Structure 1
Amino acid sequence: MAEGGGGWRPWAERYKPGVAMVLVQLFYSLVDMALKTAYGLGMRPIDFVAYRQGIAAAALFLGSLATRGFTLRPMAVGYRAFALLFVASLATATGQYCYFMGLHMASPSMARATTNLAPSITFAMAAVIGLEKVDLRNSRSVAKIIGTVVCLAGAMIMAFIKGPKLFGALIIDDWVTGGIYLMGNALCFSIWYILQVPICKSYLDPLSLATWMCFLATLQCMVAAFFLEANYMEIWKLASIWELPCILYGGVFASGANFFMQSWCISVKGPLYSAIFTPLSAVITTILSTLFLHEELHIGSVLGAITIIFGLYVVLWGKADDAKSERLAIRCTDSESNVEQDSIGGKVESGTNLSEPLLSEDANTQTSAFQ
């Protein structure tokens, strides 16, 4: 029995991160189903975003207090950090609104597939502003450029080329407009990623950071609703009791639970491991929406989704070498520091010429607060 128990534990430790990431993608897929249900009951997109972010902020706030002895001191922020958090939260709220509008006008499978555009758009933006180095003589850099172009081409195929139907008879209106909304979501997501570099320099506590962003996003959604909706006071009333479980699921599981699982998985396996599972949510969403929502599938949607996923993995392949190079450079620098200390007999500080990583591990742990 002892040997059996000893054999089971290593297996569990080995596969726990993978199981956790599959659950993360499943929770993201199910939130699309929950939103579609809420739409059918009469809930507006801005309401859902505000309620979801508010519930997530409350859950994360309680979790932050519980892990820090019920003290608010670690959550204090300065003016610069607050300004950065405000802009990042605005990107979060805008991106989620665009995502849910696109989901309503296009389809769940298309909405989830376009989230894979974010890494490629982030790389393109980072290269323009100098956060990513591009060397056309390096195969990995070329792969990142090609992967970005392929991802964008896949999004164009999904948005503008529907093609013949695979099966089903549901007619989807405003397909192109929905695709534009979804690409807007990917753009906001990329801006959010870019902002993580200065934010993590000013504010390094990931749990409190996510709490602040969800809280600010809730306030921003409430202000935006005043301009977007005619009957401001009426829209916050739940038309049906069944809207409540949809909202609770979106805040507790799709944001709160996913935050903790992604945070733990990234700490064990790293951010690249987490990113590899991202396309799985598109597959799960397509299956669920076809079975339960009777979604119509088009050739353009399938080809576009496959193209985006292929481009994503090309970009990730190019980024994988960056992570290896950074770890090797850090080890070499540490070794040089030890040699200098042994030779001189004193502490000598030696810096590195490494560029600031665009997507640090702390930054990646916040992803679930956005999606």
Structure 2
Amino acid sequence: MATCAPYVAMIIVSLAYGGSNILTKVALEKGLNQLVFVAYRHIIGMILLGPFAYVLERRQRPSLTLPLLLKIFIVSTLGTTIYLNVFFAGLAYTSATVASALNNVIPSSTFIMAVLLRMEVVKFTRAAGWAKVLGTLICIGGSLIFTFWRGGYLYKSLEDRPLINMYSTTQGTTTHEFRHPKENWIKGVALIITSNVGWSACMILQGVLSKDYPAPLSLTTWMCFFGSAQSSFLALLFARNIALWKLEWNVQLFTIIYCGVVISAFVYYLQYWCISVKGPVFASMFSPLVVVIVAIFSAIAFAERLHVGSFIGGALIIAGFYCVLWGKRQDASSHTSEHKEDEMNVLSSTRTTIEVSIDDCACADPVITTSERQ
């Protein structure tokens, strides 16, 4: 059961991120300012996690030195301020489905960074090494097909009318597709890819930081603190209108509460725990699941019509995803078997040494007896 816990945890993380992408897209379309949104959600996460981190991790939390605080600050800057604000800026120019599809850059960029930093070992003499490389390439190819193959037939959406209407209406009819100018769409794609690279760097640094600061609740609280402080500072510069900070009972407030409680508090902690247990590459490989979750929900809630490329790309994404997971599992099993062999060799050599010592003592007894007789 313990071996399945990281897999279950990352599936929950993917479902939570899928809901976050949908809600955030709706809230931004309704006028929610992204800087205010990031600041509010991390304030909620900090308030929720702070007491638990203080009480539950009093003994395991190491002393906070200046170099360690600087590392946490850099991780927070990459994983909250840069990643979220740049991602939401790009989300304004694209749909939630396309933005989620572009998140599949995360596994490949994380894998490349981990290999360059020697945090991930690729042995091409084994099938597991080839599986991880080919799986990463298949995921990249599937996400590109999903995003850029706009030709072919459009499959009919699951609903005739969207359950959530945030599109413009023309003469009593509702358009079911986003109509972004080409230059804005390219701008959105570039912004989202940039944010994903920043998130990959954040996960790599979290893997390193987990050894120096083995307190996931406290680290998540610090990330929420720095994320809220940095985004509040940016909001004071670029969102000076006080009306943007006003909260009402609407979808914007629900999105802030959902992302603050579920994402900033619960998912951040769960994801950091998975990174500390299984490594950053393992956690990043679940990003392809988000695009499938968002695509299904968008087809139901927004009545989005999917291209043939969406189905082919989604199938490739899932195939590559499981290919990499298989390679990771094979590496883990081979590492375990090698570790057991080393233990057996050590035990065998120790046993041989003990037997030799006993034989030496047995051979020495007659000599001692003879000398005593003399």
Q: Normalization by structure 1: what TM-score? A: 0.74
Deviations 1:331-370 (A, max 9, x none): 444455666777779xxxxxxxxxxxxxxxxxxxxxxxxx
Report whether the alignment pairs 1:125 with 2:135: no
**What is the alpha-carbon distance in structure 2 between the residues aligned to residue 16 and residue 329 of structure 1?**
24
Report whether the alignment pairs 1:74 with 2:61: yes
Q: Normalization by structure 2: what TM-score? A: 0.73
Residues 121, 148 of structure 1: 8 Å contact kept? no
Report whether the alignment pairs 1:170 with 2:157: no
2:211 equivalent in structure 1: 201
Residues 44, 235 of structure 1: 8 Å contact kept? yes
1:355 equivalent in structure 2: none
Deviations 1:60-96 (A, max 9, x none): 212213424xx59937421222121111111112122
Q: Map 1:71-220 to 2 at 5 A.
A: 74=61, 76-93=63-80, 94-164=82-152, 165-167=154-156, 169-173=176-180, 174-220=184-230
Greater Rg, structure 1 or structure 2?
2
Shift of 1:43: 0.6
**What is the alpha-carbon distance in structure 2 between the residues aligned to residue 249 and residue 42 of structure 1?**
17
Report whether the alignment pairs 1:250 with 2:259: yes
Q: Secondary structure at the match of 1:74?
A: coil
Report whether the alignment pairs 1:317 with 2:306: no
Identify the range of structure 1 (325-334 vs 112-121) with the bigger mean alpha-carbon deviation: 325-334
**What is the alpha-carbon distance in structure 1 between the residues aligned to residue 193 and residue 65 of structure 2?**
33
1:302–1:271 Cα change, 3 Å:
same
**What is the alpha-carbon distance in structure 2 between the residues aligned to residue 338 and residue 15 of structure 1?**
31
Identify the range of structure 1 (206-215 vs 98-107) with the bigger mean alpha-carbon deviation: 98-107
Shift of 1:141: 1.8
- Give the counterpart letter for 2:210 in structure 1: C
Q: Secondary structure at the match of 2:129?
A: helix
1:146–1:106 Cα change, 3 Å:
same
Q: Secondary structure at the match of 1:136?
A: coil
Q: Secondary structure at the match of 2:178?
A: coil
**What is the alpha-carbon distance in structure 2 between the residues aligned to residue 126 and residue 234 of structure 1?**
44
1:49–1:301 Cα change, 3 Å:
farther
Shift of 1:187: 1.2
Q: 2:22 aligns with which of 33, 48, 61?
A: 33
1:98–1:306 Cα change, 3 Å:
farther
Q: Secondary structure at the match of 1:235?
A: helix
1:273–1:267 Cα change, 3 Å:
same
Shift of 1:307: 2.8
- Give the counterpart letter for 2:317 in structure 1: I
Report whether the alignment pairs 1:305 with 2:337: no
Residues 113, 308 of structure 1: 8 Å contact kept? no
Residues 114, 308 of structure 1: 8 Å contact kept? no
Q: Secondary structure at the match of 1:238?
A: coil
- Give the counterpart letter for 2:334 in structure 1: S
Shift of 1:252: 0.6
**What is the alpha-carbon distance in structure 1 between the residues aligned to residue 227 and residue 56 of structure 2?**
23
Residues 114, 305 of structure 1: 8 Å contact kept? no
**What is the alpha-carbon distance in structure 2 between the residues aligned to residue 249 and residue 208 of structure 1?**
21
1:119–1:331 Cα change, 3 Å:
farther
**What is the alpha-carbon distance in structure 2 between the residues aligned to residue 272 and residue 123 of structure 1?**
6
1:290 equivalent in structure 2: 299
Identify the range of structure 1 (311-320 vs 247-256) with the bigger mean alpha-carbon deviation: 311-320
Gap runs ≥5 in structure 2: 158-175, 355-374
**What is the alpha-carbon distance in structure 1 between the residues aligned to residue 192 and residue 315 of structure 2?**
17
Q: Secondary structure at the match of 2:155?
A: strand
- Give the counterpart letter for 1:125 in structure 2: M
Shift of 1:134: 3.3
**What is the alpha-carbon distance in structure 1 between the residues aligned to residue 324 and residue 257 of structure 2?**
35
Q: 2:290 aligns with which of 260, 277, 281?
A: 281
- Give the counterpart letter for 2:213 in structure 1: Y
Q: Secondary structure at the match of 2:103?
A: helix
Residues 107, 295 of structure 1: 8 Å contact kept? no
Q: What is the count of residue pairs matched by the alignment?
A: 331
1:148–1:25 Cα change, 3 Å:
closer
Percent sequence identity over aligned pairs: 32
Shift of 1:262: 5.7
- Give the counterpart letter for 2:35 in structure 1: I
Q: Secondary structure at the match of 1:105?
A: coil
Q: Secondary structure at the match of 2:123?
A: coil
1:240–1:40 Cα change, 3 Å:
farther
Gap runs ≥5 in structure 1: 1-9, 346-371
1:90–1:263 Cα change, 3 Å:
closer
Residues 159, 180 of structure 1: 8 Å contact kept? no
Shift of 1:276: 7.2
Q: Secondary structure at the match of 1:119?
A: helix
Residues 101, 147 of structure 2: 8 Å contact kept? no
1:358 equivalent in structure 2: none
Q: Secondary structure at the match of 2:214?
A: coil
Shift of 1:127: 2.1
